[in-house]
Amino acid sequence: MAKNARYRVPYRRRREQKTDYQARRILATSDNPRFVVRASNKGIIAQIVKAELDGDKVLTQGSSNELIAKYGWQASGKSIPAGYLLGLVTGYKAVKEGIETAYLDLGLKRPTKGSKIFAVVKGAIDAGLNIPCDSDVIPPPERINGGDIAKYAQVIDPEGYERFFSIYLKKGLRPESLPEHFEETKKKIQENWAQ
């Protein structure tokens, strides 16, 4: 650690690598709320957050656990198809709350082309929420509906099949039928929010 008189200790959350204060200041001072997407080892969370003087206020949120409990999603809750469906649900909730535009808040994540974070953004955009985003970073349709997972399940050896798709098989879903299951779940979500 530096010891001269001009050294300035960074903020605690910056030292802990939890907050990028430069990006946060830009997002927090805008008139529109932030679309916060966080992916963990257990699932994905999407929130619409408004910065206020006494702290951030969550206007609406959705998690991949909600997909499983409410809409019957049987596949992994941390995959790209689950991310898209989560974005769809969160986008519908935001539109119902009267939110029209939100800015994507990646936190300290790098903007990787075709990642699950951008699948969540695509779902929210399809629900009617305006999120400024370049179309080049959004995953292609065959990744969003799980078509690439179904193709991989057809060519993998039986031992790897049992290991890689244990979550799917435990819930009674064959990974080859993931695109059909995705479309069924998407239809349930759209029908639920069309009312």
Binned at pLDDT 50, 70 and 90, residue 195 comes out as: low
Q: Say whether pLDDT at 191 is over 90.
A: yes
Determine what percent of the chain is predicted with pLDDT higher than 90: 74
What is the pLDDT, as a whole number, of residue 28? 87
Give the C-alpha separation, 139 to 39, whole Å. Answer: 16
What is the pLDDT, as a whole number, of residue 155? 94
CA distances (Å), origin 123, targets 27, 50, 51, 80: 21, 20, 23, 11
What is the pLDDT, as a whole number, of residue 1? 59
The 3-state DSSP class for residue 96 equals helix
What is the pLDDT, as a whole number, of residue 108? 86
Mean pLDDT of 162-178: 91
Give the C-alpha separation, 45 to 19, whole Å. Answer: 17
Nearest Cα to Cα of residue 185 among 177, 135, 94, 152: 177
The DSSP code for 95 is H
Contact 130, 101 (CB under 8 A): yes
Q: pLDDT, tens digit, for every residue of 111-154?
A: 999 999 999 999 999 999 999 999 999 999 999 999 999 999 99
Domain spans, the chain: 13-194
Instruction: Choose which CATH entry (3.20.10.10, 1.20.210.10, 3.40.50.80, 3.30.420.100) describes domain 13-194.
Output: 3.30.420.100
Give the C-alpha separation, 179 to 145, whole Å. Answer: 5
Q: pLDDT, tens digit, for every residue of 17-63?
A: 888 888 888 988 899 999 999 999 999 999 999 999 898 999 999 99
